[in-house]
Chain A
Amino acid sequence: MNLLKLWNFHGGLHLDGHKRESSVAPLAIARIPERLIFPLQQRNGEDSQPIVAPGDRVLKGQVIARDDNPFTPPIHASSSGIVRTIEDLPLPHPSGLSGLCIVIDTDGDDVAMEFTGVADYRQCSPDELRRGIYEAGIVGLGGAAFPTSIKVAPGDHRKVDTLILNGAECEPYITCDDSLLSHYPADVLNGAKILLHILQAERCLLAVEDDMPEALAALERAKEREGFETIQLVRVPAIYPTGGEKQLISILTGREVPMRGIPADIGVVCQNVGTAAAVYNAVIRGIPLISRIVTVTGRGVKQPQNVLARIGTPLADLIHQCGGYTNEAERLVLGGPMMGFGVPTDDLPLTKSANCLLVAGRNELIGEKQSLPCIRCGACAEACPVSLLPQQLYWYSRSEQIERALDYNLFDCIECGCCDYVCPSHIPLVQHFRAAKGKAVAKRREREKADHARLRFELRQSRKEQEKRERAESARRKKETLVTGKAPEILEAIERAKLRRAEKTAPPSGNSEPIDDDKEKAISPATDAESRDISVDAGHAEKQSGDQISKAQPIPSEID
């Protein structure tokens, strides 16, 4: 079935999949939990603004928080109930920090808003559909939670020819995409058609790993029934991290996303299969993103399985749904064992980006590692899917030579953990790289702050200079006005008086003239100083001084 030529990417790992644990059991539909929690902070961005207040009754699908920012799609209630509080609660985030959350007490009735989809999406413009996707609160369901409406708007200057649907679940344990493709293949394929229409792209490649036969069979059956000629199914080898966006693009197209670029730069947009199904639900059925399939697995949970659960469901409810903890549960990880993050408690809500809740049994996963010095064996460089030299990055990160680490392309690290996994010295390399990235960012901010401060200081200095000059100028003008400013009339008067005096008394008194002379002498040094100032000053001051000169000119001409 692979008519497509597949390419390779550098490095990668063959990992023990642990997929059967969760993929054998049928997909469970989660009960409505008593409480739903919606963090207002969605990605790493700003908080959305709540538009409901405690005590309000909300319906399933109702928007409860939104923001003007196009990167922050609205948040919807995933079941009906009463808003209990809006308060600070721990967030399901690697930082372990708290943030404002809307808490809803569900009423169990699950009363929904009226959902209206569009009959024929082809009659809609791409912009209308993007708007709909934004309003439906859709973000990437593969883990990064990047707003889909942004991702499908590559801009007019980028021609997208290929849509890639990512069904390559390369991380061990996770089977939610496998489950989605097996149960709802048509939703995904129809979603792909809508995305193709939005992107005006010609073809869609739907990639699944070669260890997902059920998903593939379901997709093929759906294709047989309904066609979907523009969508090609591709089986890719189960090598970690095949499901990484850049790696998958490489495998399928042989193209590389340029440094600091986005896939659309090379004519590709990549979406998770779950996102495509969400787009279908939003556009055709009008249902916003209020639920997702999540894998609950690991030896620490009694019945590992995939669960279709409401966004906002507390993790504890999911675990309860799966039979509860086993005696050996010792670690809770959101996401997979390679790139997920440990959480300290199950009192956290399911988010849109949470694809897996891994409850590790005894010694199933490890925590802190006892590490030895790096022996520069280079196993990390061999495993690195972006061809970095982790051994060098480690050396420079450890010795705080951040500039050198940047030179060795620290920020190209995708933190997949391959290097960590193969390191014989058990060095937590990814941790070091994350820390070094943090330091680099902090350093840049500091430099920007210093630059900013210097700029402010310089501006202040020049402002002060200018004020000084303006003061001097106005003083000079005052003086000039005193002598010459009222010049026309006064001088004329003086002249007339002089003439009269001269006419009256034959010998002139000569008293007034020396006084005038003295005054003129007193003025001239000041004007000299002014002109020197002007000649020394540079840049913006020059324009100013030019103005002064042109303003000053009419006065001497009047004197003449």
Chain B
Amino acid sequence: MRFPTAQAPYLAPVSSVNRIMLEVLAALIPGLAALVWQFGAGVLVQCIIALIAAELGEAAMLSLRRRPITPALKDYSAALTAVLLAVSLPPLAPWWLTAFGTLFAIVIGKHLYGGLGYNPFNPAMVGYAVLLISFPQHMTAWLPPKELSASALNFADAWNAIFSRTLPSNLTFDALTVATPLDTIKTQLGLNRLLDEIQTGGLFSGIGGRGWQWVNFGFLLGGLWMLKRGVIAWQIPVGFLAALFAVAMLFFLIDPALYPTPLFQCFSGAAMLGAFFIATDPVSASTTPRGRLIYGALIGLLVFVIRSWGGYPDGVAFAVLLLNLAAPTIDHYTRPRVYGHAK
């Protein structure tokens, strides 16, 4: 009898890329649900647009690069990039903006660097940064949360608003959109107002701003589930949130009139999304245990710096992209001690 030989180990692997991606997508559900609950169905339309653009872009690039298409489409990595970008965009952003951002993320951010596993930057954040720089007015036109909104848009309304820029007869885009809490703080502080006055507005209630705190809770919930499942390592989110909290606490203690509370920092904007879903993208992040802690902490720190003194209201995308650049260096200096080597 002849038997085939192969090299050990012979046990079937327990994990797979597409399962990881699917689990991350599943973990996005609570945050996504909070977004839909607070800001209407627009985000779902954005997800659909981004998914279609991402898969088309992925397929086109793979065929241009003469790579097999089906296995890559089945790994759900493009789908994850699409959804991560879609949940970061204003719910009523025009369809072409979403499509352009997604295609940029997949084509330039991912495939021009060699595709899955080779992109030095987080593709979703590449797409986001390009949109933020190119179309700032669209990117800052957020909707008010449910409790402040005069009229809720249903799925069909959102669809029309996104694809044909038409709204139900009693509404206009100008009347409908507002700045986010972080944006408001940035603008008002710039006008020499103090936080006490700024935060009396309706946008601010609870710990992270009306509506926004629920979105952040949603992403936190999904993130904790991923930690429990071992989908992501704890070092990056813990480093991110601990550093953001610590530095925010320091400045809040120094001058509470100019710096919001650390809890506000952690539960507003893209803090939780960034800590659990964006910064943890394994390909572009640091990969050593200690390195991940440092990498997460530096992102958290940079988020605070950009929010407080930078030109943009939120800083997750830029902070992540900057630390993507630093990840190889961090890895180099944080190699774990190998068994039997000197301590």
Interface residues of A (CB under 8 A from B): 9-10, 15, 94, 96, 172, 246, 250, 256-259, 261, 325, 329-333, 335, 337-346, 360, 365-370, 372-379, 381-382, 385-389, 391-392, 408-409, 412, 417, 420-426, 428, 430-431, 434
The answer to whether residues A259 and B340 also contact, given A345-B3, A420-B9 and a CB cut-off of 8 A, is: yes
**A428 vs B115: C-alpha distance in the bound complex, in angstroms?**
20
Chain B residues closer than 8 Å to A374, beta-carbon distance: 117
Name the segment of B239-247, B263-271, B331-339 touching the other chain: B331-339
Contact: B8 with A341, CB < 8 Å?
yes
Question: Interface 1/0s, chain B 262-304, versus A by CB < 8 A?
Answer: 0000000000000000000011010111001000000000000
Q: Contact between B340 and A360 (Cβ–Cβ < 8 Å)? A: no
Given contacts A258-B340, A377-B282, contact A424 B16 (CB under 8 A): yes
| With A331-B4, A375-B116 already in contact, 11 other A-B pairs whose C-beta atoms are closer than 8 Å | A256-B340, A330-B3, A331-B3, A344-B5, A360-B10, A365-B10, A366-B6, A372-B75, A387-B336, A392-B287, A417-B9
Cβ-defined contact, B2 with A344, below 8 A: yes
Q: Tell me if B175 is interfacial: C-beta within 8 Å of chain A.
A: no
A341 nearest CB neighbor, chain B only: B8
Residue of B nearest to A256 (CB): B340
Contact of A375 with B283 in the complex, beta carbons under 8 Å: yes
Instruction: State whether A430 and B8 are in contact (beta carbons under 8 Å apart), knowing that A377-B282, A387-B339, A423-B13 are contacts in the complex.
Output: yes
Q: Is the CB of B336 within 8 A of A337?
A: no
If A372-B75, A381-B288, A423-B15 touch, whether A389 touches B335 (CB-CB below 8 Å) is yes
- For residue B152, CB closer than 8 A to chain A, the reply is no
Expressed in whole angstroms, the Cα–Cα distance for A338 and B11 within the complex equals 7
Please, which residues of chain A bring their CB within 8 A of the CB of B75?
Answer: 372
Measured CB to CB, the residues of B under 8 A from A are: 1-17, 19-20, 71, 75, 77, 115-118, 233, 282-283, 285, 287-289, 292, 331, 335-342
CB-CB under 8 A from B116, the residues of chain A are 372-373, 375
For B235, the closest partner residue in chain A by CB is A378
B341 partner residues in chain A, CB cutoff 8 A? 259, 409, 412
A residues within 8 A CB of B11?
Answer: 15, 172, 337-338, 365-366, 417, 421
Q: Are A342 and B5 in contact (CB under 8 A)?
A: yes
Are B71 and A372 in contact (CB-based, < 8 A)?
yes
Which residues of chain B have C-beta atoms less than 8 A from A259's C-beta? 338, 340-342
Write 29 A-B pairs (CB below 8 A) sorted by A numbering: A332-B3, A338-B9, A340-B8, A342-B7, A344-B2, A344-B5, A365-B10, A365-B12, A367-B6, A368-B6, A372-B117, A375-B17, A375-B117, A375-B282, A376-B117, A378-B287, A381-B287, A381-B289, A382-B233, A385-B339, A392-B287, A392-B331, A409-B338, A412-B341, A417-B11, A422-B13, A422-B15, A423-B15, A426-B16
Is B10 touching A340 in the complex (CB atoms < 8 A)?
A: yes
Nearest residue, chain A, Cβ from B15: A424
In the complex, chain B residues whose CB is within 8 Å of the CB of A420: 9, 13
Q: 9 closest A-B pairs (Cβ-Cβ)?
A: A373-B117, A417-B9, A342-B5, A367-B6, A365-B10, A386-B339, A424-B15, A377-B282, A337-B10
Chain B residues within an 8 Å CB radius of A377: 20, 282
In the complex, A135 Cα to B257 Cα: how many Å?
86
List B contacts of A330 (CB < 8 A): 3-4
When chains A and B are docked, how far (Å) is the Cα of A258 from the Cα of B282?
Answer: 32
Among B5, B13, B77, B340, point to the contact of A369 (Cβ < 8 A). Answer: B13
* Nearest B-chain residue to A337, judged by Cβ: B10
Query: In whole angstroms, what is the CA distance A559 to B31 when docked?
Result: 110
Question: B3 touching A343 by the CB < 8 A rule?
Answer: yes
* B336 & A381 in contact (Cβ 8 Å cutoff): yes
Q: Are A430 and B20 in contact (CB under 8 A)?
A: no
For residue B340, which residues in chain A have a CB less than 8 angstroms away from its CB?
A: 246, 256-259, 261, 386, 412
B127 → A minimal CB distance (Å): 19
The one of A96, A388, A391, A423 that contacts B338, using a Cβ cutoff of 8 Å = A388
> How many inter-chain contacts with C-beta < 8 Å in the A-B complex?
169
Q: How far is the CA of A339 from the CA of B339 in the complex (A)?
A: 20
What's the Cα separation between A342 and B5 when bound, in Å?
5
CB-defined contacts of A423 to chain B, threshold 8 Å: 13, 15
Chain B nearest Cβ from A383, distance in angstroms: 11
Distance A425 CA – B340 CA, assembled complex (angstroms):
29
B1 A325 Cβ-Cβ under 8 A: yes
Asked if residues B3 and A344 are in contact (CB atoms below 8 Å), the reply is yes
A422 B9 Cβ-Cβ under 8 A: no
Which of chain B's residues has its CB closest to A431's CB? B7
Residues of chain A lying within 8 A (CB to CB) of residue B10: 331, 333, 337-338, 340, 342, 360, 365-367
The complex places the Cα of A329 from the Cα of B3 at a distance, in Å, of 9
- When chains A and B are docked, how far (Å) is the Cα of A80 from the Cα of B11? 40
Tell me which residues across on chain B come within 8 A of A246, comparing CB atoms.
339-340
Q: List, in ascending order, chain A residues with CB within 8 A of B338's CB.
A: 259, 386-388, 409, 412
- Residues from chain B with a CB closer than 8 A to the CB of A333 are 8, 10
Given A256-B340, A259-B340, A386-B338: A376 and B9 interface contact (C-beta under 8 Å): no
Question: Chain A residues with Cβ under 8 A from B233's Cβ?
Answer: 378, 382
Query: Which residue of B1, B4, B285, B335 is within 8 Å of A367 (Cβ)?
Result: B4
Interfacial chain A residues near B282, Cβ < 8 Å: 375-378
Contacts A338-B9, A381-B336, A412-B339 given: A422-B3 contact, CB under 8 Å?
no
Contacts of A256 in B (CB 8 A): 339-340
Chain A, residue nearest B233 (CB): A378
Question: In the complex, which residues of chain B have a beta carbon less than 8 angstroms from the beta carbon of A96?
Answer: 5
Measured CA separation A500–B122 after assembly (Å): 112
Q: A256-B339, A430-B8 are in contact. Are A389 and B287 (CB under 8 A)?
A: yes
Q: Which residue of A lies closest to B20 (CB)?
A: A424
- Would you give the shortest CB distance from A363 to chain B, in whole angstroms? 8
Are B287's CB and A338's CB within 8 A? no
- For residue A421, which residues in chain B have a CB less than 8 angstroms away from its CB? 9, 11, 13-14
In the assembled complex, how far is the CB of residue A50 from the closest CB belonging to chain B, in whole angstroms? 29
CA distance A275 to B181 in the complex (A): 72
Q: What B residues does A381 contact at CB under 8 A?
A: 287-289, 336
Q: From A416, which residue of chain B is reached at the shortest CB distance?
A: B9
Closest chain B residue, CB of each to CB of A427: B13
Residues of chain A within 8 A of B342, CB atoms compared: 259
| Residue pair A339, B2 in contact (C-beta under 8 Å) | no
Docked CA distance A256–B340 (Å): 5
Q: Is the CB of A422 within 8 A of B14?
A: yes
CA distance A368 to B10 in the complex (A): 9
- Contact between chains at B2 and A417 (CB < 8 Å): no
Write the nearest CB–CB distance from A394 to chain B, whole angstroms: 11
Q: Find the A residue at minimum CB distance from B11.
A: A337
How near does chain A come to B340, taking the closest CB pair, in angstroms? 5
A residues in contact with B16, CB < 8 Å:
424-426
Q: Which residues of A contact B4 (CB under 8 A)?
A: 330-331, 342, 344, 367
In the assembled complex, the Cα of A434 lies from the Cα of B8 at a distance in Å of 11
CA distance A189 to B339 in the complex (A): 30
Across the interface, do B1 and A345 meet the contact criterion of CB distance under 8 Å?
yes
* Cα-based distance from A381 to B291 in the complex (angstroms): 12
Q: Which residues of A contact B20 (CB under 8 A)?
A: 375, 377, 424
Contact B115 A373 (CB under 8 A): yes
Give the residues in chain A near B337, CB-CB below 8 Å.
387
A428 cross-chain contacts in B, Cβ below 8 A: 7
Question: Which residues of the partner chain B approach A408 to less than 8 Å between Cβ atoms?
Answer: 335
How near does chain A come to B207, taking the closest CB pair, in angstroms? 32
Contacts of A434 in B (CB 8 A): 7
Residue on A nearest B334 in the bound complex, by CB: A389
Chain A, Cβ-Cβ closest to B292: A378
Q: With a CB–CB cut-off of 8 A, which chain A residues contact B8?
A: 333, 335, 337-342, 417, 430
For B13, give the chain A residue with the smallest CB separation. Answer: A426
What residues of chain A lie closer than 8 Å to B12, measured between beta carbons?
A: 365-366
A-chain residues with CB within 8 Å of residue B288 when the two chains form the complex: 378, 381, 389
Which A residues lie within 8 Å of B117 (CB)? 372-376, 425
